[in-house]
Structure 1
Amino acid sequence: MKSLISRLCLYASMLSAIFWPQPARAYLGSFEEQDGYRIPLDGQILSTFLAGDAQFYLNNIDANGYTGVVPLGTYPNTLGDGTHGADLSRYNAGEYGTNHSGPGGTAVDITDNSGLWRALAGGRLNEDVNAPYYNGSNFTRDYVHAYRYSGARTGSAVLNLLASETNLSYAYTLDARDLNGTAPSATAANLIQMAFWLCPSDWDDTDTDNILGISLRDAMNQTVFQVGYTGDNMLQYRLTGGAWQTTSNRMGTAGWSELVVILDTVNNTAGIAVSAYDDNTSTLASQTYVLSNQSLGLDADALTGLQWDLRGGSLSNGAASFKNYFDDFNFTVSPVLVPEPSGMLLAGLAVIALLLQRKRH
């Protein structure tokens, strides 16, 4: 009986999370300047000028077709910009702006990897070692940055990940602004919904192995659950210590798909709901559950961060991991509805009474 009541309450909590009014977008948000992300606009930036920016975006204009591609001023010791660039680990990305009750302010140079975003492997770290040039149609850059994109789901910018010569791994630390005012450390006994939109690439469709993974990390530095996709854009998930599980949900490359990840840190379970864009019909499918009430196999602590892992190097078709776009993140934190002991006792007595009544008849 206790198990049945707990399960019913869990499903009720999951449904309330899905249909709960959507919160305003926060630090991750939509990767706009107002969310705290420096993005180019016709060779300039919208935030306060920083040393090297004029050179940094000099060629990044529509007229020459380089819009959004990191130009030569990106990596250190080039054109006088040796400390920061478009890569999110090199400035105060997501820590300024006015959206979602933000503090205002503007982009500032910080010590690399001292902000909310940190490069763990590849990406900007690989560029520092041996930064190649953008050469014709060959994308030989590695970075995670906010990218001005005319096809953004909302606004004018998206998050873009590119891994060319090697794999990349970046960490993001959640903040109370992400969680609608709730401190990450206070999510240890809650239902947490993370919803976002993604648009993968069709360049790597012949590679059917995992290409990208997003890990949910807790206060004990555990990876509690992962979602991702294959080179041919099939939705995947993975439990800690297990292999990637490929679902039957393919996410189109010509439009945006929505993914909702639900983490229950009381019952230690996870769920996934997806609305996948269909390239053949140019329509967004209705939201469906891919996974419900899946046991994590571990005790999850408070949700405190995310980790992004993108496979680079030589993919099966020789392509680079390019065009991994994300937009419009939002989080909802709500308590898991577990009955009080007295309520559970009353429910149990009611069932016993009903069974006795049926037995008499």
Structure 2
Amino acid sequence: MKTTSVGFVCACAVLSFVSPARAYLGSFSPSDGYDVQSGLVYGDVSYYDAGQYGANAGGGAGPNQIAADSGLWSVASPVGGYFSTLADRANYTAATPPYPVTGANALAAYVVGNHSPGRTDSSSLAIRNDTPLGVTGPLVYNYDLDAFDFNGVTPSTINGGVVQMGLYFCPNPGDTPQPGTAPREKFTMSLVDGGGNIGLEWGYGRDNSVTWRDGPTSAWNITSFIADQTNWDGVQFDLDLTADTFSMDYYDVSANTWTNLVPAGTAMGQPMGDFTHIRWQLEDGLSAGVGGKNFFDDFSFTTPVPEPAGAVLCVFGGAMVGATRRRTKD
């Protein structure tokens, strides 16, 4: 039995309440629909039905090979993919999309689930971009949120209220921080709606300093936190789709504390009509640590859903209230 605790902040409006979600992202285990390879020639999330099978993601057996980029995950950059040999990759992709070969290592850039280490089990999502610095640029993947992420509700139908997302991450070793200078970017996650509007971005620099901004044209806000390269720090966002505002909290594992970094009511860079996509970007030339891998784990979502008819009006709030999700690991 595995227990994952997630803090949340919520507001209950007329005829609404919040409900914790199941998982497509989850902890990236086989029960969430993720595998590394299992004797198959693929393992990258863009080449099989990642997140679309298993006990927590609709049931059914997998992994199942699919056309490249036709599932929930898709590559949006000229680098990405994971095969055991260059020949396997060339044969499978058939140059569509045309991922260029950047060297003898076919495994230099990929996104892989059910990868160790994990925060609460042996599974996590590993992202790697060990391509040569300045040759192909960043790895960029898109993930389409699904009803299993949002507790059975289609994400595009949630156009108001507060949607909350939480996750934990463990980066590869960072460069030495340079006080007084802005770090070069390493990882960026963008929260996007169905129209391509970006409400906010967060990430960390090459020195693992945690950053955030309200959109890709804004300057990064550099926080005082340096992400732990050997353990799991966390982030949590409340997206108010009615007011087009957000907040951000940060979990420092070394101090075992949550800190508010972006206060509630901060304006989104672009109004979000919904929350349907997550964009992942990892810069190139990262080789330190475990092959330059950056790890992500234990996603959770809390969404507004209709309350049964006849419910009374209520307004309530909780700061970092523990919501516990239990599920049995296969």
Q: Match of 1:88, SS? A: coil
Change (3 A) 1:206 1:286: closer
Q: Match of 2:76, SS? A: strand
What value does the CA root-mean-square deviation take over the aligned residues?
2.9
Shift of 1:188: 1.2
- Aligned counterpart, 1:304: 276
Change (3 A) 1:334 1:109: same
| Contact in 2 for aligned 1:22/1:330 (Cα 8 Å) | no
- Aligned counterpart, 1:233: 208
1:169-208 superposed Cα distances (whole Å, 9 cap, x missing partner): 0000000100112211122112011001101111544682
Are 1:249 and 2:225 matched, yes or no?
Answer: yes
- Aligned counterpart, 2:69: 113
Structure 2 letter corresponding to 1:248: S
Shift of 1:32: 0.5
Change (3 A) 1:115 1:197: same
For 1:120-139, what aligned pairs fall within 5 Å after superposition? 120-121=76-77, 122-124=79-81, 128-130=99-101, 132-134=103-105
- Normalization by structure 1: what TM-score? 0.68
For 1:1-361, what aligned pairs fall within 5 Å after superposition? 14-16=9-11, 23=20, 25-39=22-36, 45=38, 53=39, 81=41, 85-99=42-56, 102-121=58-77, 122-124=79-81, 128-130=99-101, 132-134=103-105, 141-149=108-116, 151-165=117-131, 166-205=137-176, 208-240=183-215, 241-278=217-254, 284-292=255-263, 293-313=265-285, 322-334=292-304
Distance 1:310 1:95 in 2: 24
Q: Match of 1:259, SS? A: strand
1:194-228 superposed Cα distances (whole Å, 9 cap, x missing partner): 00110111154468222101100102111111111
| Contact in 2 for aligned 1:198/1:327 (Cα 8 Å) | yes
Q: Match of 2:121, SS? A: coil
Structure 1 letter corresponding to 2:59: P
Identical pairs, percent: 30
Q: Match of 2:46, SS? A: helix
Change (3 A) 1:269 1:335: farther
Q: Match of 1:287, SS? A: strand
- Normalization by structure 2: what TM-score? 0.74
Change (3 A) 1:103 1:147: closer
| Contact in 2 for aligned 1:28/1:94 (Cα 8 Å) | yes
Distance 1:243 1:25 in 2: 35
Q: Match of 2:187, SS? A: strand
- Aligned counterpart, 1:357: none
Shift of 1:237: 0.7
| Contact in 1 for aligned 2:198/2:270 (Cα 8 Å) | no
Q: Match of 1:185, SS? A: helix
Shift of 1:244: 1.5
Distance 1:188 1:275 in 2: 28
1:233-253 superposed Cα distances (whole Å, 9 cap, x missing partner): 111111122122111122211
Q: Which has the higher contact order (CA 8 A, sep 6+)?
A: 2
Structure 1 letter corresponding to 2:169: L
Structure 1 letter corresponding to 2:54: G
Shift of 1:16: 4.8
1:317-361 superposed Cα distances (whole Å, 9 cap, x missing partner): x8598121000101001279xxxxxx9xxxxxxxxxxxxxxxxxx
Runs of 5+ consecutive residues of structure 2 not aligned to the other structure: 1-7, 90-98, 132-136, 307-312, 314-330
Distance 1:224 1:300 in 2: 6
| Contact in 2 for aligned 1:146/1:157 (Cα 8 Å) | yes
Q: Specify which structure has the higher proportion of helix.
A: 1
Shift of 1:298: 3.2
Shift of 1:36: 0.5
| Contact in 2 for aligned 1:191/1:335 (Cα 8 Å) | no
Runs of 5+ consecutive residues of structure 1 not aligned to the other structure: 1-12, 46-52, 57-80, 279-283, 337-342, 344-361
- Aligned counterpart, 1:63: none
Q: Match of 1:34, SS? A: helix
Change (3 A) 1:297 1:160: closer
